[in-house]
Amino acid sequence: MRQALSGLKVMDLTTNLPGPYLTWLLAALGADVLKVENPQSCDPARVFESDPDHPFRLFGLVNSYKKSITLNLKHTTAREISHRLVSHCDVFVEGFRPGVMDKLGLGYDAVKSINPRIIYVSLSGFGQSGPYCHKAGHDLNYQALAGSFHSTFATDASPQVPNILFADLGGGSLLGLAGILAAIVQRENTGVGQYIDVSLFDGIFSLNLLGQCNFLDTRVDPNTADSVLWGTQPFYHVYRTQDNRHMALGAVEFKFWKNFCITVGREDLIYRQYDGRSAIDEVSKIIRTRTLSEWSDLFEHVEACVTPILSTEEAIMSKLVKSRLLWVDDGVEKPHPLPPFNLSGSPHPDYSPAPDLGQHNESVLSIIGYSKGEIKEFVRKGII
């Protein structure tokens, strides 16, 4: 069975995480993704936090299913090769600062002149315009400037560095994927591609929807406002258990809160769902009377939105993750995540590990017309 994006050819000039995760999602949907790296300075994720026993931790996860070639775009011949590749591609994704690709002869205007159907994606921290467009940054910086980071800690607490890269993955990769899919549909109607400016800052700013809505309603800074989704009420809160683990209670609807109160034997709390701190203190005392395992067993079949807070290892090993086919660890293939979507007409691809640097140089370049002799000369000159 063909996959949803079978036949779609993607040229990937991104590094680290946001771009590679975006193109990994495309590859997982069946696209043929060609990762292009500089032979002298590869994707930093290949060596970041790696060691002989655990090579390419991050790189291996977000670059499986792809092919790899090397091009030193400072060479004129390498640029000519890239132009030939572009003529065969549907999507072009780059993650450099504004202006860099123009200097390398691979800006949107140059690429569009070669292939008018190309969908060209620039993935950057602050977008292609504005006062910060040339400024360096990482996920923490984008969250800090978007207001989302500030909204997650109380006024009397020190901010904690988020351990999920919401700006990189949510604001960049996922919204970038949405833009590409929309452009593919539009190209079916118009016959031409387009330019997509994906800003990680723009994405995380738009994802701070609750904070923005709360501010518009109250004109009070979200982290000081009495918003139920910031843990200010007993039914939407995190509680410590007897064994110093934590349990999440998300009983927003009254029926779930009522079920919770009945199950813990405190029917007197049913109509105190919005009693704030005093009710939170009461529930805290209750939850401290049992272990996390005991509470999990008690609420296993109760509709009360009560869940244990699991570690990453516990989540990976959980029956939920296994049943949803989100992780493979069968002893045959290297343990790896599977795409987080299930299309009835587009099966998950067969696993292929992240490629070695330049692993597909010869096969890819021969397809677009270069001889073995030419390819050997490219290697000798440091072009690939």
pLDDT reported for residue 49: 55
**pLDDT(348) > 70:** yes
Structural domains present in the chain: 9-206+326-380 (3.40.50.10540), 228-308 (3.30.1540.10)
Q: With bands split at pLDDT 50, 70 and 90, how would you rate the model's confidence at 153?
A: low
Q: Which amino acid is at 168?
A: D
The tens digit of pLDDT for each residue in 245-293 reads: 999 999 999 999 999 999 999 999 999 999 999 999 999 999 999 999 9
Helix (H) / strand (E) containing 343: none
Tell me whether residue 341 is exposed, middle or buried, using C-beta atoms within 10 angstroms of its C-beta: 0 to 12, 13 to 18, 19 or more. exposed
Residue 61, number of CB atoms within 10 A of its CB: 17
Q: Residue 217 — very low, low, confident or very high, per pLDDT cuts 50/70/90?
A: confident
pLDDT exceeds 70 at position 238:
yes
What's the pLDDT at 213? Answer: 84
Q: How far apart are CA 249 and CA 239, in angstroms?
A: 8
What is the band of 328 on the pLDDT scale with cuts at 50, 70, 90? confident
Handedness of CA 15, 16, 18, 20 (dihedral sign): positive
Query: Which is nearest to 79 in space by CA: 105, 40, 43?
Result: 105
pLDDT of residue 220 exceeding 80, the answer is no
pLDDT value at position 210? 82
Instruction: With a cut of 70, say whether residue 53 has pLDDT above it.
Output: no
Calculate mean pLDDT across residues 370-377.
96
What is the chain's Cα-based Rg? 25
Q: What distance in Å separates the CA atoms of residue 181 and residue 32, rounded to the nearest whole number? A: 15
Mean pLDDT of 200-204: 97
- The predicted-structure confidence for 160-174, as pLDDT tens digits, reads as follows 788 889 999 999 999
d(CA 291, CA 245): 8
- What does the alpha-carbon distance between residue 234 and residue 226 come to, in Å, rounded to a whole number? 12
- Checking if the pLDDT of 50 tops 60, the result is no
- Average per-residue pLDDT in the chain? 92
Q: Report pLDDT digits (tens) over 90-141.
A: 999 999 999 999 999 999 999 999 999 999 999 999 999 999 999 999 999 9
Active-site residue set: 168
pLDDT at 223: 60
Burial of 191 (0-12, 13-18, 19+ CB in 10 A): exposed
